[in-house]
Amino acid sequence: MSLTLDSRRLARVQNWADRYTSDQRLAGLSVLIRQHGKEVCYAQSGVRDLKAGAAFDRNTVARIYSMTKPITSLILLMLVEEGLLHLDAPLSRFLPAFSDMRALRPGAVDLSQTEPCVTPTLHHLLTHRSGLSYPFNPGVLPEAMAEQDLLFKPTAGTLAEQCDVLAELPLAFSPGRRWEYSVGIDVIGRVIEVVTGQALDQVFRERVLDPLGMGDTGFSVSDGTLDRFASLYTPLAGDAMDLNAAANGDSSLRLFDAAANSPFRRTTCFSGGGGLVGTIDDYMSFAECLRNRGQGLISPSTADFMMSNHLPGDIASLGPASFAEQPMDGMGFGIGGAVVIDPARSRVPSSIGDFSWGGMASTFFWVDRVHDVSVVFFTQLSPSSSYPARAELKALVHGALM
């Protein structure tokens, strides 16, 4: 049964936000909540830049990093609907450099210990079962990726060049064997370029950003929005992109990426896995598109398919060794985002079927189709594992359902 969000209980969200900024855990944040398509709560606290002091408001442009993944995934499903590809197609059909694949043997300790394997499919890539990885995961392949700084960063050449470098490395495991968070959806972005014959930024603009009115969202920060672009902070003494590190720096808010000098000012690599910047209202437009079962961009049937669990069980059952933006127990995975299959096992108040994902800078969104709710949380702190803000926010929202 659908419940209604109580406005008095939603007032707790503002108090929660203020605690995070007054305690100097976050420089600034904003939360936007809609139910039945109507805004029922907006809260903001703190600043987008500690030095400049401008408020972290709903016009703030933020790095959404991995929250790019569901948008890339939706675009690929648009191409599926048009009959241009299917999800069981091997990656090599579109990117020949990924032919004749090899995977590390179980227990391998260096890159030479490999065995032949099948080529991952598009579905493997979308659901993180491809054998690809991320540099911040543990293991032989992530170490090799870290040595080459293979993270599809904004200034890392072009998307095609990054994929060619990636194709020279073996997979961490044979496709389908387990779940590991990866750059797979970056590679999907390159597949989209090949199939459409367009650069990914142009595809995003024409197929999603313009139709949904997401005018402040893109792969780079323009001169016109620079004064609204937030700085990125970290509690770590070292690399803010080390998602598994403990918060052990001398400052809880060490400046890591200043707005004026950010690589997002000179983007050359359009990362479908983590390259977008934008505003909270823009991203809510995308979340509402999903809540409305595709909103005409994809059919309601395809939207339901996207937000269904595509794994044989939960993520935890597939032996992951990687970092994930979500709990793994009780969580399945759809096309480009996580799906709650057992709220109790996830240990976070949720509805069965919640579709969500987050980003490296601690941003987060979810769509709850049981209670017809969309929630978007923006802040700029990396790594996203620093604080339990996402679980706390879900508890606050569920505590307001009456």
- C-alpha distance across the termini of the chain, in Å: 11
The predicted structure's pLDDT at residue 387? 94
| 330 phi-psi bin (left φ>0, alpha ψ -120 to 50, beta other) | left
Q: Give the single-character DSSP code of 217.
A: -
Both tokens of residue 74?
A: 């939706």
Query: How do the pLDDT tens digits run along the chain, 402 residues long?
Result: 789 999 999 999 999 999 999 999 999 999 999 999 999 999 999 999 999 999 999 999 999 999 999 999 999 999 999 999 999 999 999 999 999 999 999 999 999 999 999 999 999 999 999 999 999 999 999 999 999 999 999 999 999 999 999 999 999 999 999 999 999 999 999 999 999 999 999 999 999 999 999 999 999 998 889 999 999 999 998 788 776 565 576 789 999 999 999 999 999 999 999 999 999 999 999 999 999 999 999 999 999 999 999 999 999 999 776 666 567 899 999 999 999 999 999 999 999 999 999 999 999 999 999 999 999 999 999 999 899 999 999 999 999 999
84-93 residues labelled b (16+ CB within 10 A) or e (exposed)? ebebeebbbb
Per-residue pLDDT at 323: 64
* Stated length of the chain: 402
Answer for the pair 234, 252: CB distance below 8 angstroms, yes or no. no
The amino acid sitting at 244 is N
Find, among 23, 65, 31, the residue nearest to 392 by Cα.
Answer: 31
Residue 326's pLDDT is what?
A: 67
C-beta separation of 262 from 221 below 8 A:
yes
Q: Strand 232-234 relative to strand 355-358: parallel, antiparallel, unpaired?
A: unpaired
Tokens of 53: 């002091």
In a 13 Å sphere around the CA of 41, the CA atoms on its Cβ side amount to 29
Q: Are 129 and 175 in contact (CB under 8 A)?
A: yes
Q: Which domains does the chain have, with CATH numbers?
A: 7-66+215-399 (3.40.710.10), 77-200 (3.40.710.10)
User: What does pTM read for this prediction?
Assistant: 0.96
